[in-house]
Amino acid sequence: MKAWAIGATVLALLALGGAAYLQFSAATRISGLENDARNLQAQLAEARAEAEDSEARRAEAERRLGELDRELAASKARVTNLSAQLRQSQLEARRLGETAAALEAEKESARDQAARLRRELLDARAQPPQLADEEREALEREIDDLRAQLADARRSPAATTGSLAAAATPVDILSVSDRGDVVAVNRGRRDGLAPDRVVVLHRGNHPLARLRLADVRDDWSIAHVLEREAGQTLAKGSGYALVVTP
């Protein structure tokens, strides 16, 4: 009986110890699980933080991508605008070149017209003025007198030589018109010449032509050829003489 009681006691003690061990083991396991749960919660919090950070970075990347798209569109627009401006500048440069060429052509035309007008002015100055009937008759009488004097000079060359030498003024012909009816000489007001005076041009003792002074300057004059001796030509050069008719 006593042995059974002892055995029962021992079994009860063993049961209590096993229960205590199991309780300790369970408590230890529960503590480990709680630690694992806390660790998992911490990892989950970190994962959530990383996910939120990744989402923020993704949103920032999308925002930046949108800005880059807008900048790219603006750059394309500027390139298109610059291309249009370049084409416009090229067209403007072409128009300016054409305008410059046209202006150059107009300048050449104006220069040619100015030269033509200058020649016409010189020809107009060299033309004798229109004479009234009385002046024309007086001029014709003067021409007849000069013809008579020339005829006398041809008949008596020795006597004429002295008078010509005394009244003649050495002169050079500076130019002769294409038709030979206008000459320019290197004598003018300083030599006593005056507009509308009639002079006789000589070479040596031979009269060549009668001239009417049209435009007289200080050192040169332009004269219109009124009459030229048969077979005589006027040419640029020296060796001539002027005789002013009375």
Burial tier of 75 (Cβ tally within 10 Å: 0-12, 13-18, 19+):
exposed
The model's confidence at residue 196, banded by pLDDT at 50, 70 and 90, is very high
Q: How far apart are CA 79 and CA 85, in angstroms?
A: 10
Residue 70 domain boundaries: 1-126
Residue 243 has pLDDT above 80, yes or no: yes
CATH number at residue 233: 2.40.10.340
pLDDT at 205: 83
pLDDT at 35: 86
- Name the strand (E) or helix (H) holding 244: strand 237-244
Kindly state whether residues 50 and 112 are assigned to the same domain: yes
Query: What are the distances in angstroms from CA 245 to CA 27, 56, 72?
Result: 161, 119, 97
Kindly state whether residues 149 and 115 are assigned to the same domain: no
Q: Which distant-in-sequence residues (6+ apart) come within 8 Å of 107 by Cβ?
A: none
Q: How many structural domains comprise the chain?
A: 2
- Name the strand (E) or helix (H) holding 57: helix 2-126
Domain final residue, candidates 126, 150, 165: 126
Q: How far apart are CA 120 and CA 130, in angstroms?
A: 17
Residue 160 has pLDDT above 50, yes or no: no
Of 117-121, 141-145, 181-185, which one has max mean pLDDT? 181-185
**pTM to 2 decimal places:** 0.36
Domain final residue, candidates 126, 149, 168: 126
Q: Could you report the per-residue pLDDT of 13-57, keeping only the tens digit for each?
A: 777 776 777 777 778 888 888 888 888 888 988 888 888 888 888
Kindly state whether residues 22 and 84 are assigned to the same domain: yes
Domain final residue, candidates 108, 126, 144: 126
Across 35-39, 63-67, 142-146, 220-224, least confident range: 142-146
Kindly state whether residues 121 and 142 are assigned to the same domain: no
Kindly state whether residues 5 and 34 are assigned to the same domain: yes
Kindly state whether residues 115 and 142 are assigned to the same domain: no
3-class state of residue 88 by DSSP: helix
Residue 154 has pLDDT above 60, yes or no: no
Kindly state whether residues 64 and 38 are assigned to the same domain: yes
Kindly state whether residues 170 and 106 are assigned to the same domain: no
Kindly state whether residues 23 and 5 are assigned to the same domain: yes
Kindly state whether residues 16 and 109 are assigned to the same domain: yes
Q: How far apart are CA 225 and CA 213, in angstroms?
A: 9
Percent of the chain at pLDDT > 90 equals: 23
The model's confidence at residue 163, banded by pLDDT at 50, 70 and 90, is very low
